[in-house]
């Protein structure tokens, strides 16, 4: 498709005395577009925030090799996008940049990519697998939230921040479980023995998981880590020290818990709205956050 550079709404920026163009919007007909690498004799280095937000007619985008940044919400709810290939040289995809792109099936990230922002691909229900590139150092909170068909993460061997263990995303040394793919159909998942930390939102919304054996090394469970899961029974290791806020919020199938004596703190609403939770045994030394058992018909007993 022939693209007239004048159809783009543009802005200018100067970084380290180098002037460049930001794509701020598009005035032409959507469909399949190719963003030029040079406009008005200046390189196109960024796609600005909200630039193409809510453009359901946008089917494909060819990005210029000069591109380094894709801004907040830039392509949010562009529901007809199906495949994306990002250019080498791109360093950042920012917050919610492709959120709600439900038709998106594949993404190809360059080795140069360093940052994927908060919620960048949230709600991309067509994604089934994600390849984490060599250069990625920062993955924003809930970057792939709501990707209900996502079954595995694959990590480049050269990446220094992340690793994949059986398709589940961990930090490089495997001590922190970052993200469990929500599209898996497993009824049970055994957290690997080297895991010391379960990150924020790691299993949130995994309603099919009924059993999650935890490792002896586990120290901390993050915010919303198991919120909305289908867990029926869970046993905590003796060295666990922290369960953070909303960690098991709305786990409606839980009926009985024994919290270890090692537990120093239980976060706000950690077991909030666990509507069938009847008995909890814990230490009197555990600091209990506000509403930790809100909405649960629970009776507390002590070690």
What is the DSSP code string of 111-143?
A: TT--EE-TTTTTT-TT--EEEEPTT--EE-TTT
| Residue 168 placed within a domain | no
How many domains in the chain? 2
| Residue 275 placed within a domain | yes
Report the residue count for the chain: 303
Cα–Cα distance for residue pair 127/101, rounded to 1 Å: 10
Cα–Cα distance for residue pair 184/218, rounded to 1 Å: 23
| Residue 176 placed within a domain | no
**Tens digit of each residue's pLDDT (9 = 90 or more) over 139-149:** 999 999 999 99
| Residue 43 placed within a domain | yes
Please check whether residues 109 and 192 belong to one and the same domain.
no
Domain that holds residue 199: 185-303
Please identify, among 124, 147, 170, the residue that sits at the C-terminal boundary of a domain: 147
Please check whether residues 284 and 230 belong to one and the same domain.
yes
Please check whether residues 219 and 294 belong to one and the same domain.
yes
Please check whether residues 110 and 190 belong to one and the same domain.
no
Please check whether residues 6 and 108 belong to one and the same domain.
yes
- pLDDT of amino acid 28: 74
- pLDDT of amino acid 303: 87
Counts of helices then strands in the chain (DSSP H, E): 0, 25
One pLDDT digit (tens) per residue for the chain, 303 residues: 456 678 899 999 998 888 999 999 988 777 899 999 999 999 999 999 999 999 999 999 999 999 999 999 999 999 999 999 999 999 999 999 999 999 999 999 999 999 999 999 999 999 999 999 999 999 999 999 999 999 999 999 999 999 999 999 999 999 999 999 999 989 999 999 999 999 999 999 999 999 999 999 999 999 999 999 999 989 999 999 999 999 999 999 999 999 999 999 999 999 999 999 999 999 999 999 999 999 999 999 998
Going from the C-alpha of 263 to that of each of 9, 211, 278, the distances in angstroms are 56, 21, 20
| Residue 157 placed within a domain | no
Which residues lie closer than 8 Å to 104 by C-beta, 6 or more apart?
Answer: 81, 82, 83, 84, 98, 121, 124, 126, 127
| Predicted model pTM | 0.93
| Closest C-alpha among 131, 166, 124, 169 to residue 149 | 124
- pLDDT of amino acid 271: 98
- pLDDT of amino acid 124: 97
Please check whether residues 143 and 193 belong to one and the same domain.
no
| Residue 166 placed within a domain | no
Largest pairwise CA distance in the chain: 73
- Residue 7: phi and psi, rounded to 5, are -75, -15
Please check whether residues 277 and 221 belong to one and the same domain.
yes
Which CATH number characterizes residue 241's domain? 3.80.10.10
| Residue 230 placed within a domain | yes
Asked if 256 contacts 231 with a C-beta cutoff of 8 angstroms, the reply is: no
Cα–Cα distance for residue pair 172/176, rounded to 1 Å: 8
Cα–Cα distance for residue pair 22/10, rounded to 1 Å: 6
Tokens of 67: 């591109």
| Residue 171 placed within a domain | no
Cα–Cα distance for residue pair 170/194, rounded to 1 Å: 11
């Amino acid at each position: 498709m022939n693209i007239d550079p004048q159809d783009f709404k543009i802005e200018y920026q100067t970084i380290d005395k180098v002037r460049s163009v930001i794509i701020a919007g598009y005035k032409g007909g959507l469909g399949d577009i190719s963003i030029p690498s040079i406009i008005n004799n200046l390189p196109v280095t960024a796609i600005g925030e909200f630039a193409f937000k809510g453009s359901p007619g946008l089917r494909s985008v060819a990005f210029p090799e000069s591109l380094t940044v894709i801004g907040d919400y830039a392509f949010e709810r562009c529901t007809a996008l199906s495949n994306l290939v990002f250019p080498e040289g791109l360093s950042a995809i920012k917050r919610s940049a492709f959120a709600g792109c439900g038709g998106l099936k594949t993404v190809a990230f360059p080795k140069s990519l360093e940052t994927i922002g908060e919620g960048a691909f949230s709600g991309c229900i067509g994604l089934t697998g994600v390849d984490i590139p060599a250069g990625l150092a920062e993955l924003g909170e809930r970057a792939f939230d709501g990707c209900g068909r996502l079954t595995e993460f694959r990590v480049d061997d050269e990446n220094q921040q992340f690793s994949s263990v059986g398709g589940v995303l961990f930090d490089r040394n495997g001590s922190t479980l970052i993200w469990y793919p929500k599209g898996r159909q497993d009824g049970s998942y055994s957290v690997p023995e080297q895991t010391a930390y379960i990150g924020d939102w790691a299993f949130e919304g995994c309603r099919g998981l009924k059993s999650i054996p935890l490792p002896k090394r586990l120290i901390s469970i993050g915010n919303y880590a198991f919120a909305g899961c289908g867990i029926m029974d869970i046993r905590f290791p003796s060295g666990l020290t922290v369960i953070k806020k909303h960690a098991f919020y709305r786990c409606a199938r839980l009926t009985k818990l024994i919290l270890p004596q090692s537990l120093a703190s239980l976060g706000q609403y950690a077991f909030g709205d666990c509507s069938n939770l009847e008995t909890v045994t814990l230490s009197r030394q555990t600091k209990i956050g506000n509403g930790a058992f809100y909405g649960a018909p629970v009776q507390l007993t002590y070690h």
